[in-house]
Structure 1
Amino acid sequence: MEHTSPLERIVRGVLIALVLLFFLFPIFWIVLMSFQTNEDILRIPPSPFFSPTLSNYQALITGKLTSASGTLDIAFMKNLGNSVLLSAVSVAVALILGVPAAYAFARFKFRMSEDIAFTLLSFRFAPPLLVLLPLSLFFRDLGLTDTYLGLIWVYQLIALPLILWIVRGYFEDISPDIEHAYRVAGHSWWRTFTRIAVPLAGPGIAAAGLLAFIFCWNNFVFALILASADKQPVTVGALAFVTASGIQYGQVAAAIVLSVTPTLLLALYAQRYLVEGLSLGAVKG
């Protein structure tokens, strides 16, 4: 067993603390800004000492944004609800469609299977601006512009390829002999899939679903072009804080804190599944 000297442990601890400080300091500063007025934020030089205020959060919750040009009505909480609705439903639909598809690609080799899988993956890394114009025309003809259904459909370009390719790898890591033995006992293919394959790949499915949720939550371009303010998520709704009288930095910081909180809580809740899922199959041999 390798032994480290006290000096090495101290140096390692200091380096880890510096790395954590480097990455966590912007988050810490954003949280501080959310409790400050614009005057405190724009003060030169900046100072961590101030009189905290809840006015920024109050403005977001009540929908009344006060600035130098007057009071503006904002729909931040509506946008936050839209983000939860769009992301959750989009991921649920992607899981319902993607998990069986991933199992099929992992277990059954058919003609052009790899080409089809790669085509689906290409939707994920294609630039959104590449498909926005045809999508806008297509949605206009179908009457899907400015609808939740249309946005959920578009969000499948984000969630479905991600879930399909990640979950496929986990199904490939499961030995087919386990499923074959269950089938020999007289069980159907669907029962084998739901009782054996899905539970064994559960951590991977949870990790893929969480990552897909985060990517859907952070989407900006699709909702900006294809929806009005009433249907837009929080990423687009944050533009309301850029007013004619200037940028309301306190409200922006509070909006960041509130918008990050749902995904942070979800990640903390699913942390065990995320770590286990991302580590499955990482070490072989």
Structure 2
Amino acid sequence: MDHMSPVEKGLRGIALSAVVLFFMFPIFWIVLMSLQTNETILRSPPSMVFEPTFRNYIAIVTGKLDSNVASMDITFMRNLWNSILLSAGSVAVALLLGVPAAYAFARHKFRGSEEVAFTLLSFRFAPPLLVLLPLSLYFQQIGLANTYIGLIWVYQLICLPLILWIVRGYFEDISPDLEHAYRIAGHSWLSTFRRIALPLAGPGIAAAGLLAFIFAWNNFIFALVLASADKQPVTVGALAFVTASGIQYGQIAAAIVLSIAPTLALALYAQRYLVEGLSLGAVKG
């Protein structure tokens, strides 16, 4: 039962509101910037009173960026599509490879299994520049340079270790007795994996997939080096707004709003799985 006094509840509410305001204010300010012209954004002192405009969003959607000095074509919507394709494709491949591997590491202990698992995890923490040069040369030799397949393959350095280690923990929290009982009833290992292990670890797999999607979406360096402009994601495509004639702050803000919208919508839609998945195994009886 909650025994807090009204004063304590009030102070707690104020503290929570302050924390939410602190973390949400940058997003709120970016949204406001996206509805202003460059002249309004750069005025001093800044003011929250202005006449909103959708010119920045129109410029991004139509691909026509107009500045005070020159006009140029941008391909931000194509970059947005590239981000969706690369992130979704990378997570799909990582789930296809990582979930069975995580189950194997959780259920079948063998000599050197921890070393192999840790080696796979170390790929996640390796500096990207460490592998970019050899990968670039290797991709040119096998014809994967500047291709979606090549980028999805490289993105496995981000997604696969993350999914492998997170999902492995969820499988380890599932009692093996349930699977043994199902196997004794005459079912195969594959049927046990599909009908027992996967449904029980479903929230954890969903949480790991969502986190991997966000990490892949936010990646910058791989696509910058290994892809040309027509295959680069939004993280690289945003550089187009920094031109010789100046920085288009309004268009950058609108691009940020559009780029975070898919991951924010996905997180809100899957928040039940995310909370349930991340809390799975936190309390053990």
Fold equivalence (TM over 0.5): yes
- Superimposed CA distance per residue, residues 110-164 of structure 1 (whole angstroms, 9 cap, x where no aligned partner): 2211111111000001111111111111111111111001000000000000000
- Contact 1:69-1:244 at 8 Å conserved across structures: no
- Superimposed CA distance per residue, residues 13-72 of structure 1 (whole angstroms, 9 cap, x where no aligned partner): 112111111111111000000000001100101000101000000000000000122110
Is 1:143 equivalent to 2:143 in the alignment? yes
CA shift in 2, pair 1:108/1:49, >3 Å: same
- Superimposed CA distance per residue, residues 209-266 of structure 1 (whole angstroms, 9 cap, x where no aligned partner): 0000000000000000000000000000000000011110000000000000000010
- Contact 2:70-2:245 at 8 Å conserved across structures: no
- Counterpart-to-counterpart distance in 1, 2:237 and 2:79: 6
Unaligned runs of 5+ in 1: none
Partner letter of residue 151 of structure 1?
L
- Counterpart-to-counterpart distance in 2, 1:235 and 1:52: 26
Aligned to 1:107: 107
1:140-219 mapped onto 2 (5 Å cutoff): 140-219=140-219
Provide the TM-score with structure 1 as the length reference: 0.98
- Counterpart-to-counterpart distance in 2, 1:202 and 1:110: 25
Is 1:55 equivalent to 2:55 in the alignment? yes
- Superimposed CA distance per residue, residues 84-114 of structure 1 (whole angstroms, 9 cap, x where no aligned partner): 0000011000000000000000000122111
Aligned to 1:125: 125
Partner letter of residue 139 of structure 1?
F
* Structure 1 runs, 4 residues or longer, greater than 6 Å off: none
- Counterpart-to-counterpart distance in 1, 2:17 and 2:239: 35
- Contact 2:79-2:230 at 8 Å conserved across structures: yes
- Counterpart-to-counterpart distance in 2, 1:185 and 1:158: 39
Partner letter of residue 229 of structure 2?
A
- Counterpart-to-counterpart distance in 2, 1:237 and 1:132: 19
- Counterpart-to-counterpart distance in 2, 1:94 and 1:4: 46
- Contact 1:241-1:248 at 8 Å conserved across structures: yes
Q: Which moved more, 1:131-140 or 1:85-94?
A: 131-140
SS at match of 1:230: helix
Q: How far apart are 1:5 and its partner, in Å? A: 2.0
- Counterpart-to-counterpart distance in 1, 2:180 and 2:69: 70
Partner letter of residue 19 of structure 1?
V
- Counterpart-to-counterpart distance in 2, 1:23 and 1:2: 27
Aligned to 1:237: 237
Aligned to 1:96: 96
1:39-78 mapped onto 2 (5 Å cutoff): 39-78=39-78
- Counterpart-to-counterpart distance in 2, 1:234 and 1:155: 15
- Counterpart-to-counterpart distance in 1, 2:149 and 2:173: 35
- Counterpart-to-counterpart distance in 1, 2:104 and 2:247: 50
Partner letter of residue 209 of structure 1?
G
Aligned to 2:268: 268
Provide the TM-score with structure 2 as the length reference: 0.98
- Contact 1:242-1:248 at 8 Å conserved across structures: yes
Q: Which moved more, 1:7-16 or 1:130-139?
A: 7-16
Q: How far apart are 1:268 and its partner, in Å? A: 0.7
Aligned to 2:259: 259
Query: CA RMSD for the aligned pairs?
Result: 0.8
Q: How far apart are 1:2 and its partner, in Å? A: 5.0
- Counterpart-to-counterpart distance in 2, 1:181 and 1:266: 37
